[in-house]
Chain A
């Protein structure tokens, strides 16, 4: 295996491992607390639920994009 490919593979696996740990923490800390509140909102105020849903998915997307970009830079930078 070429040295460059090995470095890239190592960076990728390291990134997946770090990302996996962060995602598990995220599941338990954030989604656990959000689940009941969102379920009540879904039953009680569907329009607000719709707006909150879009806000949550876009907010999570921006947050995760920043996390993955940071990890890419950090791990690629160290392996090179």
Chain B
């Protein structure tokens, strides 16, 4: 019976609960492992079964909240969440998300929102993938030459293996003497200007408001390369931060009538176990390898956007 379509009265759609659970599970694994919301898969997956885009976007955000709670709790148990950094970033993300949403409204009024957002997303997603594949590959090769990170079974060994080829950029960002300068002991950052953190989270929020979803695909790399947060902590902290920003987004969409919470609850039953598995898997991979495995995700987004742009069809 669970294989049959179930009627969801709020969005007026008929969807198989098993389909929702499987989609939720896949996105949960991705979220737990990479710290991303997975909206580039969830949105099209809901649309593919006949849900309107406004419901797909709002429902996906609600499901992201639940999934992030599970994954962030698991990451916290593993010592991968910097609460101080997460709370600071949440303020910048919310402000950025509002600006992104306003930009969308502006483009809507000018009548070219679909084209502009498609082009921006193709450029951004491709750039992130290209940059991360180049940086991670360089770091992995450099570590192999020097024999760094062979002891991956200990926390110390994993942290030693988690370096990036952009440590110069990170150090210069941490040296900006703009008041107030704070420390992030959990992330091992001795001193960094509060404004650098706010700007990084604001940019993440801007992309979230402009391109949709949690924008973990841009926030997680920026936390690693600009703030100098170890990859495991960046994944866990990003998830914690997403709980706050996605809750705000869910409330905002829900009062506009764009959230079918029953669909989100069903999807989340799959995501809950997927997120746990994804979070546990991070223990078996060093930082550069997690970043290397992250590369195909933005490219999936590029493929979906290019398909939609050239065919005019939504998935």
Contacts and interface: CB of A to CB of B under 8 A. Distances in A.
Interface of A: 12, 15-16, 19, 23-24, 26-27, 31, 34-36, 38-39, 42, 46-47, 49-54, 56-58, 60-62, 64-65, 68-69, 72
B62 interface: yes
A53 B62 contact: yes
A1 B277 CA distance: 21
Contacts of A12: 277
B65 A56 contact: no
Interface string B221-252: 00000000000000000000000000100110
Interface of B: 2, 8-10, 17, 21, 62-63, 65-67, 69-70, 73-74, 247, 250-251, 254-255, 257, 259, 261-262, 264-266, 268-269, 272-273, 276-277
Contacts of A23: 21, 269
16 contacts: A23-B21, A27-B266, A31-B262, A38-B10, A42-B10, A46-B254, A53-B250, A54-B62, A57-B62, A57-B66, A60-B268, A61-B65, A61-B67, A64-B268, A68-B276, A69-B74
Nearest to B62: A57
Interface of B is mostly: helix
Given A27-B266, A39-B10, A60 B66 contact: yes
Contacts of B74: 65, 69
Given A35-B9, A46-B257, A53-B254, A61 B262 contact: no
Given A54-B247, A60-B268, A64-B272, 18 more contacts: A12-B277, A15-B273, A31-B265, A42-B10, A42-B257, A46-B257, A47-B255, A50-B255, A51-B251, A53-B62, A53-B264, A54-B62, A54-B254, A56-B261, A57-B261, A58-B65, A65-B70, A65-B74
Interface of A is mostly: helix
Contact of B268 (A27, A36, A49, A57): A57
B93 to A, nearest CB: 17
A64 B62 contact: no
Nearest to A50: B254
A65 B65 CA distance: 13
Contacts of B10: 38-39, 42
B245 to A, nearest CB: 13
A7 to B, nearest CB: 15
Contacts of B255: 46-47, 50
A50 B261 CA distance: 9
B254 A49 contact: yes
A24 B17 CA distance: 10
